[in-house]
Structures are given as structure tokens and as C-alpha cells.
């Protein structure tokens, strides 16, 4: 198992009891093995990806705000549209 996966599990409160077959125990006493353990890993990876996407969109929105302030005309409209689309996605 990759070190970043182990770290991700630990940060979420999971300890690896066995790597093959995968078995996990949560600090609250929950236990997951085989497919359930893979589902835990998959869920945590998706959460991490979602968080990274949120941060990226926040950065893009911030750049769009700055860009539209430094230009005029058609480019300003383009950056306003970018900012608006980012705002819509971030509001979900």
C-alpha cells in the first residue's frame, strides 16, 4: 500500500490491521475488510479529490476576479463569465 494511502487512512481515523486481504479498524471500533475496506479507501480518495477540485475552483475564481479588474471590454466579460461559472459550481 502506498504511503499516501496509509496517511490518508490514518488522518481519517483508520488503522490497517492487514494489507492482504485488506482489513481496517476505525478508532470508533468499526471494522472493514475486503470489499468494504476498498470502499472506505475509495470514498476517502474521492473526498480528497473533491477537496482538491474545490480549492482549484476557488483559486480560478480568485484569479478571474483579479483579471477582470485589470482589463476592459470583451476580456472583462469573459472573466466575469469564468467567475460566474466558478461561483455556480462552488455553490453546489
Where along the chain do its domains lie? 3-90
Distance CA 91, CA 15 (A): 34
* Beta strand segments in 20-87, E: 22-26, 31-33
Q: Give the pLDDT confidence of 65-85 residue by residue, as tens digits.
A: 888 888 888 888 888 898 888
- Residue 40 pLDDT: 98
Q: Is the pLDDT of residue 92 over 80?
A: no
**Is there a cis peptide before residue 21, judged by omega within 30 degrees of 0?**
yes
pTM of the model: 0.74
Distance CA 49, CA 8 (A): 12
Yes or no: say if 41 and 9 are a contact pair by the CB < 8 Å rule.
yes
% of the chain exceeding 90 in pLDDT: 57
Amino acid at each position: 500500500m502506498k504511503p499516501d494511502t496509509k496517511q490518508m487512512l490514518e488522518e481519517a481515523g483508520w488503522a490497517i490491521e492487514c494489507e492482504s486481504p485488506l482489513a481496517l479498524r476505525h478508532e470508533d471500533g468499526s471494522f472493514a475488510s475486503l470489499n468494504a475496506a476498498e470502499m472506505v479507501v475509495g470514498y476517502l480518495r474521492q473526498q480528497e479529490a473533491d477537496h482538491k477540485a474545490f480549492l482549484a475552483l476557488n483559486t480560478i475564481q480568485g484569479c478571474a476576479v483579479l483579471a477582470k479588474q485589470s482589463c476592459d471590454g470583451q476580456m472583462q466579460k469573459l472573466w466575469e463569465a469564468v467567475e460566474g461559472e466558478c461561483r455556480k459550481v462552488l455553490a453546489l
